[in-house]
Amino acid sequence: MNLKRVVVTGLGALTPIGNNIQEFWNGLINGVSGAAPITHFDASNFKTQFACEVKNFNVEEFIDRKEARKMDRYAQYALVSTMEAMADANFDLEKLDLDRAGVIWGSGIGGLQTFQDEVTNFNEGNGTPKFNPFFIPKMIADIAGGHISMKYGFRGPNFTTVSACASSTNAIIDAFNYIRLGQADVIITGGSEAAVTIAGMGGFNAMHALSTRNDDPKTASRPMDKDRDGFVLGEGSGTLILEEYEHAVARGAKIYCEIGGGGMSADAHHITAPHPEGLGAKNVMINCLRDAGLQPSDVDGINLHGTSTPLGDIAETKAIKQVFGEHAYNLNINSTKSMTGHLLGATGAVEAISCILSIKHGIVPPTINHFTDDENIDNKLNLTFNVAQKRDMKVVMSNTFGFGGHNACVLVKKLDI
């Protein structure tokens, strides 16, 4: 079977370090931390009182107030980043076959704020079950994709992938597969999350997953650093427009890069902890390379899952050395979570975008907040600490690993290599 080629023709981002692609990229290459005291609610009694929130965002600048009130924040974020990506892709919707245009979205949690608010309101009432009629359609994890399809009239494949922190990487891989199998011409894909809520922070604190560096939030996300003490919760959205290559060429589209391949695996080990030897992480990278038809030596860089957790960072670097051997020392390896925090289900999309922009600009964003080497991590690896590095990036991988042992990896490459 002749598989179609799949390219990226539009990008959009709404992140803790920038509310559009240009701001996001400037934040990345300048090593900007998005961590700050929480403003969404009073966190003074929480173990962790900071997060990587989206800043200076007024939804009514993008979406009609009445419509916005029908959406949870995670869906608002999804629609806004998609509006940027669609403008970037510059489609003539009157000429696009909308039956062959779809939306495949990712979110690990969906409308957590909506769920929290409705249950809280019920508990504070007199026991009479009075719920907002928009409770369910605001809360469900698939509704962001529904809003996107309704805005643009896309009638092709439409569903949402839920695999915790791997959700939007799985969405990208599914979108890639639908197009290369000839089942769609264009798919809007990506992911969004808005879990900086009382329930979100309380839940992650209870499982001891978050950094508690309240005295210095901006340096709290420390991937690969000896003194890392957990991840920093983030929020936001990233959108990629995937398009069949010939379709893109025929309409004269701007092409950022090609999707080379995708891989998936399971740790089958623990509900939250990674396999200590990185078994699932090793397998997912091998599967991704195999799918792309590339050798380890073809890869220039890897955007780590790199959450800043004690166990996860060690396991991932072990896996990289197993997969890449001596070539591991030739790679530029980085963790953009050091700046954005961990966007949960949105992280795969946002980090894939950072890889694409690395290819476009020939710059690798840094892993910031590195102060002390960890003797359990091979620091002969080029972990791109603290300062961005110039490099001609042709092939870049992005790793995302979710609670439950869900692993996903996507590979992007320059066109025609």
Q: Are strands 389-390 and 186-193 parallel, antiparallel or unpaired?
A: unpaired
Bridge partners of 52, per DSSP, are: 234
- Asked if residues 105 and 78 have their Cβ atoms less than 8 Å apart, the reply is yes
> Which amino acid type is present at position 201?
M
Which position among 52, 165, 355, 409 bears the catalytic label? 165
- Asked if residues 308 and 338 have their Cβ atoms less than 8 Å apart, the reply is yes
Q: For 310, what's the count of Cα atoms within 13 Å in the CB-facing half-sphere?
A: 6
Furthest-apart CA atoms within the chain: distance in Å: 66
165 is known as an active-site residue: yes
- For the record, the structure tokens of 315 come out as 């396991």
Q: Which of 412, 406, 414 is nearest to 162 (CA)?
A: 406
Give the C-alpha separation, 304 to 25, whole Å. 17
Give the C-alpha separation, 74 to 164, whole Å. 14
Q: Which of 384, 403, 238, 393 is nearest to 309 (CA)?
A: 403
Q: Which of 69, 37, 65, 30 is nearest to 51 (CA)?
A: 37
Catalytic (active-site) positions:
165
